[in-house]
Chain A
Amino acid sequence: MKHVLYTGAAALALTAGMASAEQVTVFGPWLGPDQENVEKVLGAFAAASGHDVRYVGSDSFEQQIMVDAEAGSAPNVGVFPQPGLAADMASRGFLTPLADGTGDWIRDNYAAGQSWVDLGTYADENGADQLYGFFYKVDVKSLVWYSPENFEDAGYDVPETMEELKALTDQIVADGETPWCIGLGSGGATGWPATDWVEEMMLRTQPPEVYDMWVSNEMAFTDEKVVAAIDEFGAFARNDDYVAGGAGVVASTDFRDSPKGLFSSPPQCYMHRQASFIPAFFPEDTVVGEDADFFYFPAYEGQDLGKPVLGAGTLWAITNDSQGAHDLIKFLQTTEAHEIWMELGGFLTPLKGVDNSKFSDPATAKMNDILLGATTFRFDGSDLMPGGVGAGSFWTGMVDYAGGKPAAEVAAEIQESWDALK
């Protein structure tokens, strides 16, 4: 009996000694090339801390994380593409607040630090505000991709204003070609590219304050300003002459397939509006900056709204409390964690201390310039709305709209679903 006790004590001592090195599971939305990149960052964390770090990506992150949290089998750290979803989970008590001092670090070290703290702060189940989310990896959305050689062949110039962009669109149609490639398909998230379009149009037709009111639903979805922005998107997407394949295929074309029209022979389209991550889906051997390039999705010259930029980012939150999870968040606050992914490409960061020469290519540096040149920066609105709207009725509503439903009707349905969530 005594012998058993000693062995037990020895085993206990052994596990206590190993407590510093534990398994840390990370669950996120990244697959393919992005998955390899994030695994390199996590590999550096594993090497530095000694933890056993696992990453799993899924296309249906939004649904899977809810199932896991609900059942109590959540990973240690979740990488949320949408603050709205994280806020939902925080209010139900599924998230653990970040360590004290994290907020101060963000305020001090991130450009526009306070806004990143605000975006990561949600009410917990008792209604008290706590910092849950740490932003790492930012995307710029206000980009239009094109093939410089095709522009050169046809003699087109990069437009500087929305008026010029619309003139160019008409010019391309007059030349017998199709200007835009738009695809909304994305599995369970079909419709999200259209929400980006509407948000861009909101920022280009209304002041940022109105945008904020819209996102928080102080201004109803059915407001004529919102309906007008939806119709601005429709002016591009619902015009058979403007969209490759005709307006009918917009909703069914996969967003990953749609940029390929830029590179086909002959070109199916000349422009594609999409966020900074899209080159991952360009045909193999495409060199950004030579085969494909981008310009800022311009603002109306006639409206005095400056140069608004729409962006998004992923926030890391602790979904299953453990020391390793806190260590990981701590590691993300090092310059090293940001520079590793900067060198791998497709990574923008608001961290002020990073070495700008480490950006993988001039194209990424140019995106950073767009970010810096913004007079207004706003976070993707649909990501800030409650999950049921921003990752639900807004998506499906935009699919309906692309299918021909009137904007006012779609807006009324989205507002109805929002009311139901209140």
Chain B
Amino acid sequence: MDNIAGSKAGLSWAVHISVALLVFLWLFPTVGLFVSSFRTADQIATSGWWKAMFPSEQNQTIRAASPETQIEQNGMFVIEGNLFENGSGAEISVWGISSRAIDAFTPGETAELRRGGTITVQADGAYRMENAEAFEGTRGQRVFVTAKTPPEFTLGNYDTVLGKDVARNMIIYAIAAAVFFFVLRFLFRGHDSTLAGIIPGAGAVILLILLALVFGLSSGAVEGAQTTDDMAGAFFSTLTVTIPATIIPIVIAAFAAYALAWMDFPGRALLIAAVVALLVVPLQLALIPLLKLHLGVGIGKGYLGIWLAHTGFGLPLAIYLLRNYMVGLPRDIIECAKVDGATDFQIFVRIILPLSFPALASFAIFQFLWTWNDLLVAKVFLIDATGETTVMTNAIVELLGTRGGNWEILATAAFVSIAVPLVVFFAMQKYLVRGLLAGSVK
């Protein structure tokens, strides 16, 4: 019974388990990056992202106000204040004034300071230092607190890497665009199906762009942000690299694939063999010679150079994939068109292109994803010593150098960098799966 087509395979549970495992393998780091990008440095240092929703116990070293702020009350010198920022909601369980005994006191108790005077710390972080003589020194007293801090989420990290308020504005605009999308869809409910399918999406995108242009995205850089933190500039640079680097090879490859699939000319088989042979040449071999060529003919390092490089490196696979797909299209349609007097160009535009859409889309996704994630080609062909060009992958590498310990910044930058591939993947995943089979199943 087992080998009858259509019946349930005996090992389907194994399939389910492996799918669940793969999904988990992918989700764990992605969701982790996403959650971490909204957390503060202190929280990341004390607990994993999976505990982000629960209050965390943190050990912190906080300085009381400096002796300059002391005031004299009834002959006593007093420094007063709160260890936490307003409304943090943290609750101190134990505290201390020596790094050797950070849990020496409970809230409300009074500790003798080594240099004279006393300090009392309350559970909510309020403290009062008293001394018969004036406090000396320039730095405030260190207080070691162990506090239960409620979960806290912030857009601050996004402000640092993208510019102030960018994330908040994007969310507001996206909500407005989503509302607009559903309104349009409701309005065009009964209309012609293709038009009704396009208008709501296009309208929402246009509204999003309009809102961003009219009201602006950023209100300046955040204080404390370093020059290397800027991912917004790198984001647009990456887009400038990626979009032409996706479109150019597809256009060229589509023409070439048609010719190799349906036009008869001498040496066709040899050409196809050559293209397949090129698939096995590693691009690393060509980096330096190609750069020398670019510099020799005057292209130099820049966008044109990297577009050409990505085009060249992407073409063999593109041609091979599209040719195999186009060869599989029914011969009858093409012959009918020829009998009716269609030229090769008309056949290509009217028949082949629309029918090859799944293959074109799937290759576009592949090419987009790997030019988006590329670092090596960009380093060689784009990034020069003028500092005007960079890509996100490179910006993240440099960020590792300057912000190696700031995991919240790194997670945010990483999430900004994977956000677009995520959107592309989710929006076009049906083509991706179809494209995986392109050329393999006829």
Contact = CB atoms under 8 A, between A and B. Distances in A.
Do A and B assemble together?
yes
Interface of A: 23, 25-27, 31-33, 35-36, 54-60, 64, 67-68, 70-76, 147, 149-150, 152-154, 187, 254, 256-257, 260, 263-267, 281, 284, 287, 290-291
A364 to B, nearest CB: 18
Nearest to A319: B385
17 contacts: A25-B386, A26-B385, A56-B383, A57-B228, A58-B398, A59-B397, A64-B379, A67-B287, A68-B384, A71-B295, A72-B295, A73-B291, A75-B384, A149-B142, A265-B102, A287-B139, A290-B138
Contact of B404 (A58, A71, A147, A254): A254
B401 A281 contact: no
B298 interface: no
B385 A264 contact: no
Interface string B129-141: 0000000001100
Interface of B: 59-61, 98-100, 102, 114, 138-139, 142, 144, 224, 226-228, 287-288, 291-292, 295, 300-301, 379-380, 383-388, 397-398, 400-405
Nearest to B388: A54
Name the 7 nearest CB pairs between A and B, nearest first: A75-B385, A32-B402, A25-B385, A59-B401, A256-B404, A56-B387, A71-B291
Contacts of A57: 228, 398
B295 A73 contact: yes
Contacts of B142: 149
B404 to A, nearest CB: 4
B102 A266 contact: yes
Nearest to B296: A72
A52 to B, nearest CB: 9
A31, A147, A187, A281 interface centre (most CB from chain B within 10 Å): A31
Given A31-B398, A57-B398, A290-B139, A254 B386 contact: no
Nearest to A58: B398
B144 A67 contact: no
A256 B292 contact: no
B119 to A, nearest CB: 15
B100, B102, B287, B288 interface centre (most CB from chain A within 10 Å): B100
Given A73-B301, A281-B405, A265 B59 contact: yes
Contact of A267 (B99, B138, B398, B404): B99
A264 B59 contact: yes
Contacts of A27: 385
A71 B398 contact: no
Given A266-B102, A291-B139, 4 more contacts: A35-B227, A76-B385, A149-B142, A284-B224
B301 A187 contact: no
Contacts of A147: 99
A33, A70, A71, A287 interface centre (most CB from chain B within 10 Å): A71
Contacts of A260: 405
B288 A150 contact: no
B291, B301, B380, B404 interface centre (most CB from chain A within 10 Å): B404
B404 A67 contact: no
Contacts of A75: 384-385
B386 A23 contact: yes
Nearest to B114: A152
A35 to B, nearest CB: 6
Nearest to B62: A265
B234 to A, nearest CB: 14
Nearest to A152: B114
A27 B379 CA distance: 14
A68 B139 CA distance: 48
A254 B405 contact: yes
B386 A56 contact: yes
A116 to B, nearest CB: 26
A60 B387 contact: no
A54 B401 contact: no
Contact of B292 (A32, A54, A71, A254): A71
Nearest to A78: B385
Contacts of B292: 71-72
Contacts of B383: 56
Contacts of A287: 139
Contacts of B402: 31-32
Contacts of A254: 404-405
B228 A35 contact: yes
B9 to A, nearest CB: 43
Nearest to A258: B405
Contacts of B386: 23, 25, 54, 56
Contacts of B102: 265-266
A154 B99 contact: yes
Contacts of B384: 25, 56, 68, 73, 75
B58 to A, nearest CB: 9
Contacts of B139: 287, 290-291
B404 A60 contact: no
A150 B99 contact: yes
A74 B386 CA distance: 11
B300 A59 contact: no
A54 B295 contact: no
Contacts of B59: 264-266
Nearest to B103: A266
Given A153-B98, A265-B102, A266-B144, A257 B385 contact: no
A281 B405 CA distance: 8
B61 A265 contact: yes
A254 B406 CA distance: 12
A267 B144 CA distance: 11
Given A23-B386, A25-B385, A187-B400, A149 B99 contact: yes
B300 A73 contact: yes
A257 B404 contact: yes
B90 to A, nearest CB: 14
A265 B401 contact: no
A27 B228 CA distance: 15
Contacts of A266: 59, 99-100, 102, 144
A290 B398 CA distance: 30
A67 B295 CA distance: 13
Nearest to B138: A290
A67 B377 CA distance: 12
Contacts of A68: 384-385
Nearest to A188: B397
Nearest to B305: A73
A54 B380 contact: no
A256 B402 CA distance: 9
Given A67-B379, A71-B288, A32 B385 contact: no
A67 B291 CA distance: 10
Contacts of A187: 397, 400-401
Nearest to A59: B401
A70 B290 CA distance: 12
Contacts of B400: 59, 187
